[in-house]
């Protein structure tokens, strides 16, 4: 679906594991037509859009007159990247290394502080709002299968520790020889242990969306914003359910941003990824996993793996199986189809090939899906 035409969300997208049981608000609309005016319009009902609405409307410093907040969604609520991702948040030391090399150590430290803040914020909001989203506060392992990559990561962490960067107190290096035993993964060349949370992202966001409506927000699903025109400091949003004039507009549109803001073409470019849910055979008894993982096959390619409380696995990545064929994933928002079968075949092999005790678990996919991000 690579195209020079505006890339809006497509119909009949694949259903992810997270979205298999639609929330009551999935196709909700406050009224048949959108209001003529509002104070704040938010386009997109993924994590960014819904959390923004939640923070606006739950601000204790608001006066008696709350701003009118309208959320607009092309498809069902939370049906984009948030409803299709891996379901964990963590400190990413490999990404910090990349940032440090290209933009300096302070940029890396700033990014890591942001990631740690997000992990803490997720814990806080789930506790505050009593949200049932299977939140687990845990550690995540970055597994390194390549000797050179492992050495690079060890040296980077050591340098940052010598500089007494505060974030390094949150990170532990696990030496080769110990890393197999500690992580449960075979043939590792070293590993990192970092703070993380795992959760059911769709349940989190739809629960917050319910709270937004309780606080006075309005929701219009299956209401595609086809055009956004600014005039005199306000934005007119055209939809099939009428036009809305907003004093302020927030574009929480991720991969689809350039469809409404063409000035971001070639700056915000969508790309497609593939994810899966694996279930071991009912007769098998593989060891339970308490941590999330990133499996770094080299410095470029990695899978993400999140164990579920029921013993099943979320596994995504396999980018090397399709990266060479740009048209099937780059500048592509078609989440009605898989990228390729090779990625799925890889997912089916990971647990037996790489995890101790999973060799005979027959942990194969029972659901595979795609999603678009940027």
- What span, in angstroms and rounded, lies between the C-alpha atoms of 226 and 195? 40
CA 191 from centre of chain: 23
Q: In the predicted model, is pLDDT for residue 111 greater than 80?
A: yes
The three-state (H, E, C) secondary structure of 130-168, written as one string = CCCCCCEEEEEEEEECCHHHHHHHHHHHHHHHHCCCHHH
The three-state (H, E, C) secondary structure of 288-331, written as one string = CCCCEEEEECCCCCEEEEEECCCCCEEEECCHHHCCCCHHHCEC
Give pLDDT tens digits for 3-60: 566 789 999 999 999 999 999 999 999 999 999 999 999 999 999 999 999 999 999 9
pTM: 0.95
pLDDT the model gives residue 302: 98
Give pLDDT tens digits for 115-169: 999 999 999 999 999 999 999 999 999 999 999 999 999 999 999 999 999 999 9
CB 296 within 8 A of CB 142: yes
Closest CA to 272 of 46, 9, 5, 4: 9
Give pLDDT tens digits for 67-105: 999 999 999 999 999 999 999 999 999 999 999 999 999
Q: In the predicted model, is pLDDT for residue 63 greater than 90?
A: no
Strands (E), the chain: 37-43, 69-72, 88-90, 136-144, 172-174, 191-198, 218-220, 227-231, 234-239, 242-251, 271-279, 292-296, 302-307, 313-316, 364-373
**Which whole number is the average pLDDT over 321-329?**
96
CB 33 within 8 A of CB 84: no
């Amino acid at each position: 679906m690579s195209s020079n035409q505006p890339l809006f969300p497509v119909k009949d997208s694949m259903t992810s594991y997270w979205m298999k049981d639609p929330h009551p608000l999935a196709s909700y609309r406050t009224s048949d037509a959108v209001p003529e005016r509002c104070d704040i319009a938010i386009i997109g009902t993924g994590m960014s859009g819904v959390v923004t609405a939640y923070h606006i409307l739950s601000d204790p410093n608001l006066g008696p007159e709350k701003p009118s907040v309208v959320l607009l969604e092309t498809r069902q609520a939370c049906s984009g990247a948030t409803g299709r991702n891996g379901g964990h948040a963590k400190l990413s030391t490999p990404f910090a290394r990349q940032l440090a090399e290209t933009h300096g150590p302070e940029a890396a430290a700033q990014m890591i502080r942001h990631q740690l803040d997000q992990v803490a914020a997720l814990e806080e909001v789930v506790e505050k709002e009593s949200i049932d989203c299977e939140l687990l506060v845990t550690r995540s392992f970055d597994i390194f299968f390549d000797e050179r990559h492992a050495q690079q990561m060890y040296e980077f962490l050591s340098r940052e520790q010598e500089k007494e960067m505060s974030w390094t107190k949150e990170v532990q290096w696990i030496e080769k020889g110990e890393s197999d035993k500690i992580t449960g993964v075979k043939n590792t060349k070293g590993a990192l242990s970092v703070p993380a949370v795992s959760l059911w992202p769709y349940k989190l966001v739809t629960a917050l969306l319910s709270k937004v409506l309780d606080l006075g927000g309005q929701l219009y699903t299956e209401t595609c914003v086809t055009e956004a025109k600014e005039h005199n400091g306000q934005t007119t949003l055209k939809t099939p359910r009428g036009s809305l004039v907003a004093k302020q507009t927030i574009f929480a549109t991720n991969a689809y941003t350039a469809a409404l803001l063409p000035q971001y073409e070639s700056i915000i470019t969508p790309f497609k990824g593939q994810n899966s849910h694996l279930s071991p055979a009912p007769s098998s008894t593989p060891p339970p996993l308490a941590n999330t993982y990133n499996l770094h096959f080299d410095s470029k390619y990695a899978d993400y793996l999140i164990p579920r409380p029921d013993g099943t696995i979320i596994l995504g990545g396999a980018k090397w199986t399709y990266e060479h064929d740009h048209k099937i994933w780059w500048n592509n928002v078609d989440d009605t189809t898989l990228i390729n079968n090779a990625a799925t075949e890889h997912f089916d092999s990971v647990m037996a090939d790489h995890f101790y005790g999973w060799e005979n678990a027959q942990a194969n996919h029972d659901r595979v899906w795609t999603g678009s991000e940027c």
